[in-house]
Amino acid sequence: MSLNARKILLVDDDDDMVRDLVAATLKGGDYQLLQAANGGEGLDLARQHHPDIIFLDVNMPVMDGVSVCAAIKADPTISGTTVIMLTALGQEVDKDRARRAGADGCFTKPFSPLTLLRRVDEVLRARGS
């Protein structure tokens, strides 16, 4: 990882399974992966580290992902951060709530590691990284 590594924050309480998959997927790339197991911790890390991309689970303790997304998009210091919601439910009502909170996209778990890498590359290219 170089000094110019792009920061990616993953906030998911899913028994480390999703966090391990994302870490393995991004391994070898020029990324700094930050991780949190609940919404409150994730919001704190977002404000502290200003990541380029945040992946947020919808259902989490302390603060759910939709509430975290809304707080991120309302905070002028991090509102430009790309937020992608992760949901095991895949229900349209959750995707709609996420969009209304300002989410930039939504993945249904389980997801393909290649799809994740493609999305990360698209976001970073769009940000000029």
CA distances from 16 to 3, 10, 21 (A): 27, 11, 8
How far, in Å, CA of 74 to CA of 89, rounded? Answer: 26
List CB contacts of 108: < 8 A, sequence separation 6 or more.
86, 87, 88, 89, 90
Q: What is the pLDDT of residues 52-100, one digit of tens each?
A: 999 999 888 889 999 999 999 999 999 999 999 988 766 778 888 899 9
Q: What is the mean pLDDT of residues 25-32?
A: 86
Model pLDDT, residue 89: 66
Model pLDDT, residue 84: 94
Instruction: Tell me the pTM.
Output: 0.90
The full set of domains in the chain, from first to last, is: 6-123 (3.40.50.2300)
Helices then strands, counting H and E runs in the chain, come out as 5, 5
More confident residue, 100 or 18: 100
